[in-house]
Amino acid sequence: MNTQQTQGLEHEIRVPLENDYHGHPNYLKVYIILLILFALTVFASLIPNPLVVFAVVFGISIIKGTMVLLYFMHLKWEPNLIWIMLVLALLTLFFLLIGLYPDMVPVENYLVPKP
């Protein structure tokens, strides 16, 4: 392929920025929801039981993170390839958690007789 042809091809495959988008969601609305969830996180930390605090606070964090991904990062409108990349990353973490859990958290070993 000569230089002229290459340049022509580049011109054709260039992305027109304003046509690349589906539009913008209402960012202010998303931001306000994130602030409300953030306030809920802080209040939830006042619950005396640490296990409940962990469940509630981490749950809210997952919702907040997902909202940023979907609306601020426009993941909602991205093709499947991007979703696959992120799901693979999360699966890696899931397997890491499952794989390391028995080593880190004491689990009673039923195969070894108690002294």
Partner 1 sequence: MNTGILTTKISWREIPQARLAIWALIAGEFVIFGGLIVMYILNRMKYESWGEMAEHTNVIAGTVNTLVLLTSSYFVVKAHEAAVKKNARAVKKWIWLTIMCALIFLGIKAYEYTHEIMMGYTMSSPALLEEGKHVETLYWSFYYTMTGLHGLHVIAGALALYFVMRNVTRTGENYHRIEVAGLYWHMVDIIWIFLFPLIYLIH
Nearest to 62 by CA among 93, 100, 84: 93
Q: How far is the CB of 108 from partner 1 (least distance, A)?
A: 15
Say how far apart CA 4 and CA 90 lie, in whole Å: 44
Does residue number 114 form part of the binding site for partner 1 (CB under 8 A)?
Answer: no
Rounded CA-CA distance 103/57 in Å is 25
Of the candidates 36, 58, 76, 77, which one interacts with partner 1 according to CB under 8 A? 58
Residue 53 neighbours by CB under 8 Å, 6+ apart = 44, 45, 47
Binding residue (CB under 8 A) for partner 1 from 36, 76, 81, 113: 81
Q: Which residues contact 34 (CB under 8 A, 6 or more apart)?
A: 64, 67, 68
What is the binding site for partner 1 (CB under 8 A)? 3, 6-7, 10, 13-15, 17-18, 20-21, 24, 27-28, 31, 34-35, 38, 41-42, 44-45, 50, 53-54, 57-58, 60-61, 64-65, 68-69, 72-73, 78-82, 85-86, 88-90, 92-93, 96-97, 100-101, 104-106
